[in-house]
Amino acid sequence: MGNAKLILEGKEYEFPLVVGTENEVGIDISKLRDRTGVITLDDGYGNTGSCRSAITFIDGDKGILRYRGIPIEELEQARFTEVAFLLIYGHLPNAAELTQWREKLTRHSLLHEDMKKFFEGFPASAHPMAMLSAMVASLSTYYPDDLDVDLNIVRLLAKAKTIAGFSYKKSIGQPFMYPMNHLAYTENFLHMMFAVPAEPLKISPTLERALNLLLILHADHEQNCSTSTVRMVGSSGANLFASISAGISALWGPLHGGANQAVIEMLEKIQADGGGYQKFVDKAKDKESGFRLMGFGHRVYKNFDPRSRILKKAADAVLAELGVDDPLLEIAKGLEEVALKDPYFVERKLYPNVDFYSGILYRAMGIPTNMFTVMFALGRLPGWIAHWKEMREQGSRINRPRQIYTGATQSPWVPVDKR
Ligand code: SDX
Give the Cα separation of 351 and 340 in Å (integer): 7
Closest CA to 271 of 353, 363, 351: 363
Question: How far is CA 329 from each of CA 150, 281, 373, rounded to the nearest angstrom?
Answer: 41, 17, 19
- Looking at residue 275, its pLDDT comes to 77
Question: Residue of the nearest CA to atom 24 in ligand 1?
Answer: 297
Output the pLDDT for position 393: 97
For ligand 1, atom 22, which residue shows the shortest CA distance?
297
d(CA 320, CA 295): 23
Q: Which pLDDT belongs to residue 1?
A: 73
pLDDT for 87 equals 98
Taking the C-alpha atoms of residue 92 and residue 221, their distance in angstroms, rounded to an integer, is: 18
Phi, psi for residue 269 in degrees, rounded to 5: -65, -45
Is the beta carbon of 63 within 6 A of some atom in ligand 1? no
Binding site membership of 292 for ligand 1 (Cβ less than 6 Å): yes
Pocket test for ligand 1, best of 42, 56, 292 (most atoms within 8 A of CB): 292
User: CA-based Rg of the chain, rounded to a whole angstrom?
Assistant: 23
pLDDT tens for the chain, residues 1 to 419: 789 999 999 999 999 999 999 999 999 999 999 999 999 999 999 999 999 999 999 999 999 999 999 999 999 999 999 999 999 999 999 999 999 999 999 999 999 999 999 999 999 999 999 999 999 999 999 999 878 999 999 999 999 999 999 999 999 999 999 999 999 999 999 999 999 999 999 999 999 999 999 999 999 999 999 999 999 999 999 999 999 999 999 999 999 999 999 999 999 999 999 878 889 999 999 999 999 999 999 999 998 899 999 999 999 999 999 998 999 999 999 999 998 899 999 999 999 999 999 999 999 999 999 999 999 999 999 999 999 999 999 998 999 999 999 999 999 999 999 99
Nearest to 22 by CA among 72, 73, 56, 45: 56
Mutational pocket test of ligand 1: of 296, 351, 375, 387, the residue with most ligand atoms within 8 Å of the beta carbon: 296
The three-point CA angle 171-174-179 to 5° equals 100
Q: Where are the beta strands (DSSP E) in 316-397?
A: none
Q: State residue 131's pLDDT score.
A: 97
| The model's pTM | 0.95
Task: Check if the beta carbon of residue 123 is closer than 8 Å to that of residue 131.
Answer: no
**Cβ(348) – ligand 1 distance below 6 Å:** yes
Q: What are phi and psi of 71, to 5 degrees?
A: -60, 140
- For strands 17-19 and 64-67, give the pairing: unpaired
Residues 296, 350 contacting (CB under 8 angstroms) = yes
CA 165 to chain centre: 18
pLDDT at residue number 155? 98
Q: Residue 367 C-alpha to ligand 1 middle, in angstroms?
A: 25
pLDDT of residue 29: 97
Catalytic residues: 298, 355
Look at residue 15 in the predicted model and tell me its pLDDT: 98
Q: Does residue 221's CB lie within 6 angstroms of at least one atom of ligand 1?
A: yes
Ligand 1 atom at minimal distance to the Cα of residue 44: 33
**Cβ atoms of residues 244 and 362 within 8 Å:** no
Among residues 373, 289, 359, 299, which one has the least CA distance to residue 331?
Answer: 359
Give dist(CA 362, CA 352) in Å, integer. Answer: 17
